[in-house]
Homo-oligomer: A and B are copies of this chain.
Amino acid sequence: MTSASSPSPHLLDEALRLKSIADDDDHGAAGPSAGQYEGATHPGYWNMVGPFGGITAATLLQAILQHPRRLGDPLSLTVNYAGALAAGAFTVQAVPVRTNRSTQHWTLSILQAGADGAPVVTTTATAVTAVRRETWSVGDVPMPEVAPPAEHKAMVAPSGAVEWLSRYEMRPIAGFIPRTWDGSGDHSLTQLWMRDAPPRPLDFTSLAALADVFFPRVWLRRARQVPAGTVSITVYFHATAEQLRATGSGYLLGQARGQEFRNGFFDQTVQLWNEAGTMLATSHQIVYYKE
């Protein structure tokens, strides 16, 4: 997946490197056609107490994409962050539990050795891949009318910021991270242009990660920086592989909005369009927050 013009692998490709450690046809405890992969957390995508959630989602998708029995392209992915990954090696299990004529259903998990050496589940997931055919199509959420990327300044990650922020070029349009934490927030809508940094041709894995780049809505809504972390994210992929190729290393317009903040959890809706205005993915997540 290294683009022809780059001399060394993109950090995203380094982070997503998975080595198959089980035969596809090893009908073991994990079930028929279980794929087992070894990977490792990447310091370039480190968040506060574990990897950036988007890279974890992308890693799970990568396991599916590498699986020899895969049918079709990603349609939906749900990732549940059960516990933070520790820095180091992990195992991904990807099982195509049911393959239909044009859809395939996956269950996945990430495991790490716990304190006593026994494997501990850090992440669970399900996914659907599908063979898609051209049909009647229409978008019902048009891309907001905003000025092009060049007319918005790229954010510079503040010193001391978490490392993964430097893996993305973000050009805030509206609702960016508050400058002062004075409790003055009154909405939860963020819009920004964004892409991998350095630029990298878009694919399903990077699209999945981009669905999770938004800072916690509760920070914006309250103008208060409370501890927060994603519990579960779902991504629906609308783009075909050709539409991703056509997007190339261009910008995506990302939009995120909170719906309900209640008793320690809020939910967020996300839309991602390419510069041509094609909706590539929609996403949702439920996020823990403190106080």
Interface membership of chain A positions 263-291, coded 1 if the CB is closer than 8 angstroms to chain B and 0 otherwise: 11101010100000001001010101111
Question: A188 vs B138: C-alpha distance in the bound complex, in angstroms?
Answer: 11
From A234, which residue of chain B is reached at the shortest CB distance?
B234
Identify 10 residue pairs between A and B in the complex whose beta-carbon atoms are under 8 Å apart, listed by A's number: A75-B286, A80-B105, A107-B124, A132-B264, A138-B261, A139-B261, A140-B257, A140-B258, A232-B234, A259-B279
**Whole-angstrom distance from the CB of A106 to the nearest CB of chain B?**
8
Query: Is A115 positioned at the interface, with any CB of B under 8 Å from its CB?
Result: no
**A-B pairs with the 6 shortest C-beta distances?**
A82-B105, A82-B98, A78-B78, A132-B263, A260-B279, A137-B262
Question: A125 vs B267: C-alpha distance in the bound complex, in angstroms?
Answer: 19
Chain A interface, DSSP helix/strand/loop, else mixed: strand
One of B121, B260, B271 near A238 (C-beta < 8 A)? B260
Query: Is A83 positioned at the interface, with any CB of B under 8 Å from its CB?
Result: yes
Q: Which residues of B contact A136 (CB under 8 A)?
A: 222, 261, 291
Query: Is A166 positioned at the interface, with any CB of B under 8 Å from its CB?
Result: no
Query: Is A147 positioned at the interface, with any CB of B under 8 Å from its CB?
Result: no
For chain A, residues 17 to 56, give those with C-beta under 8 angstroms from any C-beta of chain B.
Answer: 29
From A239, which residue of chain B is reached at the shortest CB distance?
B262
